[in-house]
Structure 1
Amino acid sequence: MSKPPISRFPIPEIADLPEDIRSRILTVQEKSGFVPNVFLVLARRPDEFRAFFAYHDALMDKPGNLTKAEREMIVVATSNANQCQYCVIAHGAILRIRAKNPQIADQVAINYRKADITPRQRAMLDFAMKVALEAHTVGDADISGLSAHGFSEEDVWDIAAIAAFFAMSNRLANVSNMRPNDEFYMLGRVEKQV
């Protein structure tokens, strides 16, 4: 049986892409050993690709009070709520690697309230889920609740921005029928063989 396509929309050839996009994709491929399908699917629109990854990097790769693993927890929990298979699988792999925990992504995706996370992380995810699913109901009490767990105003913005950005990403992935790469499924679950 042949594999289904990675998107319902046409995928450009890497060689035909603008140099900056081609270079970024090849760098990711060199680092990870494969090209995550999101890069190929979004490359069909170069200006949007650049804007998407610029905002992604600004949110996910910055220093701050949220660890990189916590940022990935937000993506996994909210992407599951938005029924985005691609983001749950891909960011679940990244979460397992960043948290150095082969079980955490499955726990967070299925039911973060029962996951082996801290009360602070649970409060973070409660807020992220509210932003993802009912942002119109966010009020001062939600912000105060995060403050009680040591989150700063900037942290609150980061949590909200990550949840909001990935809500958009989830919708694009769902509409395009973006398939997760097979490689993601085992990343962070087993030790690499040397």
Structure 2
Amino acid sequence: MAWIKEVSREEDELLKSIYESAEKRTGEKTANVLKVHSQDPKTLEIHMNLYERLMFEEGELSRKEREMIGVVVSKSNECSYCVTHHGQSLAHVTENIELMKKISEDYHLAELSDKELEICKYAEKLTKYPYRMEEEDIIALRSFNLSDLAIFQINQICAYFNYVNRIVFGLGVELE
């Protein structure tokens, strides 16, 4: 599962509650990337709150756009764990396995709108070359009528997936 010890859900009530909530929402067993947090259930709780906010709560981005960002960031980081998980989510949301495969390989090959391409371009650049970000990157997003709130959400989702990719790599989290 990972390079650090996993605490059993039976050993901690908060941990058990968080796992059960996640399993109820997804209909699946708790993912290994969540189980690696078992050493500190309060951190897992904060992580899950951020994840729920960014990926599921009301906002200006569609679920497709949110999952697409996650896949592009994870692909840019070569994080197969998150590409797999969020590629599956993207396929589920879009009901388009071919789109998921293309975005998972190279978003330039996917049939995306100009707006979606610009979002992917921003996500890739912020991931690979954060020190090269310029105001022009924001202006490019605004040219597609994306509000500052939408741009903030794009930025936050990019940051979140970079965070999770590093959890996966740094702790040796294996795919279920």
Q: Structure 2 length normalisation: TM-score?
A: 0.92
What one-letter code is carried by the residue in structure 2 that aligns with 1:48?
T
- Determine if the alignment matches structure 1 residue 140 to structure 2 residue 135: yes
What one-letter code is carried by the residue in structure 2 that aligns with 1:129?
E
Offset from partner CA, 1:5-30 (integer Å, 9 cap, x none) = x111111111112x333122123334
Q: Structure 1 length normalisation: TM-score?
A: 0.84
- Determine if the alignment matches structure 1 residue 166 to structure 2 residue 161: yes
Q: Which residue of 1 aligns with 2:147?
A: 152
Q: Distance in 1 between matches of 2:88 and 2:37?
A: 20
- 20-29 vs 68-77, which moves further: 20-29
Offset from partner CA, 1:123-164 (integer Å, 9 cap, x none) = 001011111122222212111111111211111111111111
Which of 42, 57, 76 is 1:62 aligned to?
57
- Determine if the alignment matches structure 1 residue 117 to structure 2 residue 103: no
Q: Distance in 1 between matches of 2:57 and 2:23?
A: 22
Structure 2 gaps, min length 5: none
2:129 is paired with a residue whose SS is helix
Q: Which residue of 1 aligns with 2:43?
A: 48
* Number of residue pairs aligned between Structure 1 and Structure 2: 175
- Runs of 4+ in structure 1 displaced over 3 angstroms? none
Deviation at 1:44, TM superposition (A): 1.9
Identity %: 23
Q: Which residue of 1 aligns with 2:21?
A: 27
Q: Which residue of 1 aligns with 2:66?
A: 71
- 28-37 vs 161-170, which moves further: 28-37
Pairwise CA RMSD? 1.4
Which of 90, 94, 97 is 1:95 aligned to?
90
Structure 1's 27 and 53: CA in aligned 2 closer, same or farther, altered over 3 A?
closer
Q: CA contact under 8 A between 2:54 and 2:157: conserved in structure 1?
A: yes
Instruction: Determine which structure has the larger helix proportion and give its number.
Output: 2
Deviation at 1:36, TM superposition (A): 1.4
